[in-house]
Structure 1
Amino acid sequence: MRAGPCLRSTLLTTLFCYGAALALAWRGQKALPPPIGLYDQSSGGDDEAGESRTTQRLLQTKDSYIAEYGFQNFNRHWLQVQYQAPKTAYGVYCDGFGYAKDDLDAIDAWHNKARQGAYKFAISAKKTQAQLDAAMAKLKAERDKKVADYLASRGFKLRPGGIVMADVPHIVRRSAEPLRPLAMAFERIAVAKSYDSESLVGSVAAMAQTALHYRIPPVLEDGRHTAGIMPPLKALVRGWGDCDTKTGLLASVLANWPHMRMVGIAVPGHYLMGVLRIPAKGDAFVEYQGLQYVLIEPAGPAWLPPGTVGEDTLPKLQAAEGFAIEPFFDAQG
């Protein structure tokens, strides 16, 4: 999966055409106003080793959040990227994730009221028990659909048994466009340094692994349930995330490149991803619908190039429980 000059040029043009207006909205002015809050942290390390040398600078102005990251990619090049999010747009984005118990209670209240109404109508209209049962079943199906639709709109999916899980592919699809300016920043670096697509993907992966700290999000924040995942843009602005959060961030950035095909890999207690590429010798990969996807570990803090998984991950992939593969886009290609 190597991108020659023509593909890089086409990619840059595509990103510019689709992302120009959004870049103006999300990046704002080039000259940054004075910060009103600042978090600045560096992780020292040996330049030769590269694994631990990162910088992270998080600040906010009156109108924007700004995240600046410095890190070393797998070409052993020191890279720096910056992302600026207007507070209004950021707030709208964050408000679209997480579900509230009050909202689910409201659906149940509607269901109970509808059941009472159906029962009273059945009595007054002298309906049979079979007709009443059918009406109740229809209301139950409508209630379940309302719950599923609500959760889906908030970035979650409902599994059998009433288990609520984060819908990582859905989160990636919703986050790709807001993160397009960051993808454009990486594309400019790739063109300047004559990177092929493998180096480009590796650069974004290195940022997710090392420049963002590893931390598990709370399951409840600001009155909303999170299922332990943070939406990618929030992770970028805050500077941290866990395995599924960082996977969502990496995939959302990569989703801005044409023909990038990706899958999520859910193993017990862990989440990673794969990108469509012919595996090199020694690469870890999975097969999905007859195609091979090379694995990437976005979680960090280990500095692992694409094709290399953590020492704890491989046994989970080989375990009897197996693993689930989730395509990040329904129609990939």
Structure 2
Amino acid sequence: MTSSDMAIHMSPHTSSCASSRSSAVLRAVLLCLAWFAQPVAGNEQGAEVDEDRSAVAASADTTAQNRYWGQPTTDGRYRVSTRFRNFDGQTIALGFDLATAESRRSLSEFGVDDRELDALMRLCRQAMACDQATYDGYTTRYYREHALRLTADPGRASRLSVDVPAVVLRNRSRVRPLTDALRRAAAERGQNGDWMIKTAMTLVQTALPYKKPVAQLEGRSLLGFYPPAFALERGYGDCDTKSALLAAMLLDLGERRVVGLHVPGHYLLGLDRRPEADEAFITHQGRPFVLVEAAGPAMRGLGDVSMRTRGALARNDGLRVDPMF
């Protein structure tokens, strides 16, 4: 189980809200749904980080010079500055302001809050008939609206995981202060879209520190994941958080077709382009997608993935493609 994956144990009992017994059943169901208070076990995402020691060692001098810092302003914004080196060895300094309200909105529309589930239970109790199926319908819709996938396998506990494409598409416009700063930097240097894409990759890989997001914040379960706008404010993330941030940036920069790729214990991206020699890629809908690492801290170019990821691709082991277009 990765940090963005949790089990839910649902009560199979059905009843009507017309009796006091049914109210007790619904309270029991809600307690069963209090999965978000449990710690996550078996987190494997960190296994990908620092795996390729030669790549990390080669980038040690570069990453040591990279910085990402921010502070709130008096007008409700969050001012970020970052300094890093790109693949061409250029030192890039960017500054941009985030709207704190947008960052908070990105958080409120993601994850699970027990107070919101309480409100769903009250809403269900007010209905003419409120059995288990009705309540399950409320909660399933709630998960979908909060960018979560509910997977139910026969004979096993249902599982919640992050719907990364939904999060990316909701946050594409919210990362625009950063992508606008990248556009200005490219214009100043007379550079094109490929330069911006590769510079965005190095920013997320090396300037934004690798750190696992918290499981809960202010009563909301986040499944160990930050939406892109909130990740920019917090200033760190792990592989799926960084991948979602980079995907939102690439889409806003004009990259038309991006996919997410889940391999066991790790998450990365794919870009719709013809692979060069030795670049790792997958084929989706008959088109090649060159793979892109976002986790860092090593600086990895297009198609440069770890041996662990290459092994999963060769075995076709637990792969899932998430189209983001």
2:102–2:174 contact (8 Å) kept in structure 1: no
1:317 alignment partner in structure 2? 313
TM-superposed CA distance for 1:322, in Å, is 3.0
Structure 1 pair 211/199, CA: closer, same or farther in 2 (3 Å)? same
Instruction: Describe the SS at the equivalent of 1:104.
Output: helix
Instruction: Describe the SS at the equivalent of 1:255.
Output: helix
Structure 1 pair 91/112, CA: closer, same or farther in 2 (3 Å)? closer
Structure 1 pair 197/323, CA: closer, same or farther in 2 (3 Å)? same
1:85 corresponds to which of 73, 81, 98: 98
Structure 1 pair 91/106, CA: closer, same or farther in 2 (3 Å)? closer
> What is the 5 A alignment of 1:199-278?
199-258=195-254, 260-278=256-274
TM-superposed CA distance for 1:307, in Å, is 1.1
Instruction: Describe the SS at the equivalent of 1:216.
Output: coil
Partners of 1:88 and 1:220 in 2: CA distance: 19
* Correspondence 1:173 to 2:185: no
TM-superposed CA distance for 1:316, in Å, is 2.8
CA deviations over 1:194-217 (Å, ceiling 9, x no partner): 334332211001000111111111
TM-superposed CA distance for 1:185, in Å, is 1.4
Q: Which runs of 5+ in 1 are unaligned?
A: 1-44, 119-135
2:206–2:299 contact (8 Å) kept in structure 1: yes
Partners of 2:259 and 2:59 in 1: CA distance: 33
2:286 alignment partner in structure 1? 290
TM-score w.r.t. the length of structure 1 is 0.72
Higher RCO by CA contacts (8 Å cutoff, separation 6 or greater): 2
Partners of 2:183 and 2:266 in 1: CA distance: 29
Q: Which runs of 4+ in 1 moved over 6 A?
A: 45-48
Partners of 2:151 and 2:270 in 1: CA distance: 23
Size of the aligned set, in residue pairs, is 264
2:78–2:100 contact (8 Å) kept in structure 1: yes
* Correspondence 1:159 to 2:165: no
Partners of 2:58 and 2:294 in 1: CA distance: 22
Structure 1 pair 200/86, CA: closer, same or farther in 2 (3 Å)? closer
Partners of 2:320 and 2:224 in 1: CA distance: 18
Instruction: Describe the SS at the equivalent of 2:252.
Output: coil
> What is the 5 A alignment of 1:124-135?
none
One-letter amino acid of the counterpart of residue 148, structure 1: T
Structure 1 or 2, whichever has the larger Rg, is 1
TM-score w.r.t. the length of structure 2 is 0.74
1:34 alignment partner in structure 2? none
Instruction: Describe the SS at the equivalent of 1:163.
Output: strand
RMSD: 2.4
Instruction: Describe the SS at the equivalent of 1:62.
Output: coil
2:303 corresponds to which of 298, 302, 307: 307
TM-superposed CA distance for 1:265, in Å, is 0.4
* Correspondence 1:97 to 2:110: yes
Instruction: Describe the SS at the equivalent of 1:217.
Output: coil
1:38 alignment partner in structure 2? none
1:46–1:53 contact (8 Å) kept in structure 2: no
Partners of 1:206 and 1:275 in 2: CA distance: 15
